[in-house]
């Protein structure tokens, strides 16, 4: 039988690099044991590739008494391992070598010091056969050695016997987790000489059914007897193929990489959760939540207060500058809303004094917190558990500096509130001219009144139509002054509104930028990491 090979895909080198990258990106975010397992696979693969690729390491694994050592001896054609009656018999692994030149470093890496040449080389040249201790041993050292070597060897031959082939320990601890290793797994039903011929097929069928349940559909299952030699030629033939192929090492590493990459994206604690690569729309920008954050930050930074002060301050100053001179001075007794906010012209910019805006209330701060959480939630939506947690954390990661950063931009954003429009000056001049006309009229009338009182002859009085000029000047001046003041007020009201809008926009833009830097950028960085991770895992899975 040929080793099943995948269709053209990324090379093992590329997949290993991708696995390493995925493990690095997942570190601190995914469960430690999953990341450690991926790193271990990468490390092991690196080591195996440096060692002899001319040799294929095949391990005989199984329960005590299944006949591993007997099979080992039968294949080697020599009595190399003890076959005992006291169980367990084999306590440390040993190796039989078919043309073992150059296999030394490989066996050193496997930490198998006991090595023997096999009886006859034949078509098994390059085979390194390991006889392992029992996997279900009462001795911990046996189990540890088996677990270590099961991870390191190229091909696994599970030796079972007719009594214990359904053993839960074998299926649950070893076969099921190695379901991805179909290409490098062989199952041998030993001791078939102890069964009547009809029972052998039944036993094989049952064993295959169990293996299908383990996810090992299609693995070779051979019926053999170490005692009578039945089926040994088939087993030898199968091993000869694997040895000649010289690809089991990479098939094994490939399966390791696929399995480890799979564990990186399936949360073992949340069965049924969609795997990371299945998520749709990952990395979407949380637009609605972003606007909500800007809004909450604006309110907490007192933007509505500032905007209102800008509008009112503009109107106040406009009245002082363009009001009717008779009454405008009264305005000066009212406080200037801009000065109250300490909005000053500084370095060519109108900026808000840092400490002048009332501090955010508890409710406003809570609203900011909620908005930050919403950004995290929106971005984390649909991500697998650990990544969703990482994204939510990223949203909060710089929350502590947020208030200061917002205060800073509020204090450095030009609100243009103290600029005086040019028309104010023109209107002011006009107001004074009109006021002078009023005064002139009043003075003239006063002089006429005094001359009349002193019975002096009246000078000729020019008139505009029926109305004498001094009266025209007095009344006209008063009416014009009031009308100009009213028109200016209307203009100032509109101007204040425009300025308020502009201020709101400038502050909002600046604060939105802060929100983006302090909250969205960390989230986006995390999403980008997740995207790279997903890509790496996809490559690693092959």
Q: Which of 12, 31, 40, 88 is the binder for ligand GTP (CB under 6 A)?
A: 88
CB nearer to Mg ion: pick between 112 and 338: 112
Closest C-alpha to 538, from 275, 330, 306: 275
CB nearer to ligand GTP: pick between 195 and 306: 195
Residues 286, 378: contact at Cβ < 8 Å?
A: yes
Listed in sequence order, the residues at least 6 apart from 468 whose beta carbon sits closer than 8 Å to its beta carbon are 461, 462
Q: How far apart are CA 164 and CA 150, in angstroms?
A: 20
DSSP bridge pairs for 59? 130, 156
The 3-class SS string of 357-380 reads CCCCCHHHHHHHHHHHHHHHHHHH
Cβ neighbours around 328 below 10 Å, total: 17
105 makes contact, choosing from ligand GTP, Mg ion, none, with CB < 5 to 8 Å by partner type, with none
515 makes contact, choosing from ligand GTP, Mg ion, none, with CB < 5 to 8 Å by partner type, with none
26 makes contact, choosing from ligand GTP, Mg ion, none, with CB < 5 to 8 Å by partner type, with none
Q: Least distance in Å: CB of 241 to ligand GTP?
A: 23
How many residues does the structure list for the chain?
542
Cα→Cα distances 220→165, 188, 213, 325, Å: 15, 8, 15, 107
Residue 137 makes contact with Mg ion by CB under 5 A: no
DSSP bridge pairs for 351? 344
List, in sequence order, every beta strand (DSSP E) within 44-126.
56-62, 94-97, 114-117
CB nearer to Mg ion: pick between 90 and 356: 90
240-279 footprint of Mg ion as x/- string (CB under 5 A): ----------------------------------------
Q: Least distance in Å: CB of 115 to ligand GTP?
A: 18
Residue 94 makes contact with Mg ion by CB under 5 A: no
Residue 143 makes contact with ligand GTP by CB under 6 A: no
- Secondary element (H or E) of residue 138: none
Residue sitting closest to ligand GTP (CB)? 67
CB nearer to ligand GTP: pick between 94 and 488: 94
Residue 431 makes contact with Mg ion by CB under 5 A: no
CB nearer to ligand GTP: pick between 68 and 316: 68
227 makes contact, choosing from Mg ion, ligand GTP, none, with CB < 5 to 8 Å by partner type, with ligand GTP
Residues 331, 319: contact at Cβ < 8 Å?
A: yes
Q: Is the peptide bond before 88 cis (omega within 30 degrees of 0)?
A: yes
Of residues 29-68, those binding ligand GTP (CB under 6 A): 62, 64-68
Q: Least distance in Å: CB of 71 to Mg ion?
A: 9
Selected range binding ligand GTP among 81-89, 203-211, 255-263, 376-384, rule: CB under 6 A? 81-89
Q: Which of 20, 52, 66, 89 is the binder for Mg ion (CB under 5 A)?
A: 89
Residue 69 makes contact with Mg ion by CB under 5 A: yes
Q: Which of 3, 17, 53, 83 is the binder for ligand GTP (CB under 6 A)?
A: 83
Cβ neighbours around 369 below 10 Å, total: 14
Q: How far apart are CA 394 and CA 384, in angstroms?
A: 15
Of residues 184-223, those binding ligand GTP (CB under 6 A): 190-191, 193-194
CB nearer to ligand GTP: pick between 26 and 65: 65
Q: How far apart are CA 440 and CA 469, in angstroms?
A: 10
User: Total residues contacting Mg ion (rule CB under 5 A)?
Assistant: 4
Residue 518 makes contact with ligand GTP by CB under 6 A: no
Q: How far apart are CA 74 and CA 230, in angstroms?
A: 11
CB nearer to ligand GTP: pick between 70 and 518: 70
CB nearer to ligand GTP: pick between 134 and 295: 134
Q: What share of the chain is helix, strand, coil (3-state, %, to 5)?
A: 60, 10, 30
Q: Which of 66, 90, 259, 403 is the binder for Mg ion (CB under 5 A)?
A: 90
Q: How far apart are CA 134 and CA 169, in angstroms?
A: 12
Q: Least distance in Å: CB of 375 to ligand GTP?
A: 59
- Secondary element (H or E) of residue 107: helix 104-110
User: What's the order of all strands across the beta sheet hosting 221-223?
Assistant: 114-117, 94-97, 127-131, 56-62, 155-160, 185-189, 221-223
Q: Least distance in Å: CB of 128 to ligand GTP?
A: 18
Of residues 393-452, those binding ligand GTP (CB under 6 A): none
Q: What is the DSSP string of 296-359?
A: HHHHHTTHHHHHHHHHHHHHHHHHHHHS-TTTGGGGGGSPPHHHHTTEEEETTEEEE-TTTSPP
* Locus of tokens 């490390």: 43
CB nearer to Mg ion: pick between 226 and 253: 226
CB nearer to Mg ion: pick between 162 and 286: 162
- Secondary element (H or E) of residue 80: none
Q: Which of 20, 56, 225, 534 is the binder for ligand GTP (CB under 6 A)?
A: 225
Q: Least distance in Å: CB of 87 to Mg ion?
A: 9
Residue 94 makes contact with ligand GTP by CB under 6 A: no
Selected range binding Mg ion among 85-93, 323-331, 332-340, 516-524, rule: CB under 5 A? 85-93
Cα→Cα distances 419→128, 267, 324, 408, 484, Å: 89, 61, 21, 22, 21
Selected range binding Mg ion among 18-26, 84-92, 146-154, 326-334, rule: CB under 5 A? 84-92
- The footprint of ligand GTP (CB under 6 A) covers 62, 64-70, 83-85, 87-90, 133-134, 190-191, 193-194, 225-227
Q: Given the rule CB under 5 A, which residues bind Mg ion?
A: 68-69, 89-90
């Amino acid at each position: 039988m040929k080793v099943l090979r995948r269709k053209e895909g990324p090379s093992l080198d590329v997949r290993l690099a991708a696995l390493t990258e995925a493990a690095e990106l997942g570190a601190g975010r995914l469960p430690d044991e999953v990341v450690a397992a991926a790193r271990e696979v990468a490390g092991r693969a690196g080591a195996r590739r440096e060692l002899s690729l001319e040799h294929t390491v095949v391990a005989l694994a199984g329960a005590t008494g299944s006949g591993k050592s007997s099979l080992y001896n039968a294949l080697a054609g020599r009595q190399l391992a003890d076959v005992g009656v006291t169980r367990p018999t084999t306590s440390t692994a040993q190796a039989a070598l078919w043309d073992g030149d150059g296999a030394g470093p490989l066996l050193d890496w496997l930490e198998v010091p006991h090595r023997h040449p096999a009886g006859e080389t034949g078509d098994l040249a390059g085979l390194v056969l390991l006889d392992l201790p029992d996997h279900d041993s009462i001795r911990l050292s046996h189990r540890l050695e088996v677990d270590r070597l099961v991870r390191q060897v190229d091909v696994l031959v599970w030796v079972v016997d007719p009594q214990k082939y359904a053993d839960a320990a074998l299926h649950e601890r070893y076969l099921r987790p190695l379901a991805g290793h179909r290409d490098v797994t062989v199952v041998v039903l030993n001791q078939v000489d102890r069964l009547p011929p009809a029972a052998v097929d039944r036993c094989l069928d049952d064993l295959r059914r169990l293996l299908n349940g383990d996810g090992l559909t299609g693995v070779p299952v051979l019926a053999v007897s170490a005692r009578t030699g039945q089926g040994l030629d088939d087993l030898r033939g199968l091993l000869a193929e694997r040895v000649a192929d010289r690809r089991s090492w990479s098939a094994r590493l490939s399966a390791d990489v696929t399995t480890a990459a799979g564990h990186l994206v399936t949360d073992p604690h949340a069965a049924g959760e969609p795997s990371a690569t299945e998520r749709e729309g990952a990395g979407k920008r949380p637009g609605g939540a972003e606007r909500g954050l800007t809004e909450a930050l604006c309110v907490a930074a007192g933007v509505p207060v500032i905007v209102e002060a800008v509008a009112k301050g503009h109107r106040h100053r406009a009245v002082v500058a363009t009001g009717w001179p008779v009454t405008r001075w009264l305005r000066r007794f009212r406080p200037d809303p801009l000065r109250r906010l300490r909005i000053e012209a500084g370095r060519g910019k109108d900026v808000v004094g840092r400490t002048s805006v009332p501090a955010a209330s508890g409710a406003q701060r809570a609203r900011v917190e909620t908005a930050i959480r919403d950004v995290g939630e929106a971005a984390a939506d649909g991500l697998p558990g650990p990544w969703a947690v990482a994204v939510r954390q990223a949203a909060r990661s710089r929350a502590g500096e947020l208030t200061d950063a917002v205060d800073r931009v509020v204090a450095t954003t030009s609100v243009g509130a103290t600029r005086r429009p040019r028309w104010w000056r023109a209107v002011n001049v006009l107001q004074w001219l009109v006021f002078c006309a009023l005064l002139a009229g009043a003075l003239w009338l006063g002089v006429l009144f005094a001359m009349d009182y002193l019975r002096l002859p009246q000078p000729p009085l020019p008139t505009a139509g029926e109305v004498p000029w001094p009266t025209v000047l007095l009344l006209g001046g008063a009416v014009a002054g009031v009308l100009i003041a009213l028109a200016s007020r209307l203009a100032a009201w509109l101007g204040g509104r425009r300025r308020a809008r502009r201020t709101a926009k400038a502050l909002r833009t600046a604060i939105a930028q802060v929100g983006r830097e302090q909250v969205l950028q960390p989230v986006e960085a995390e999403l980008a990491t997740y995207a790279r991770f997903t890509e790496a895992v996809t490559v690693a899975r092959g």
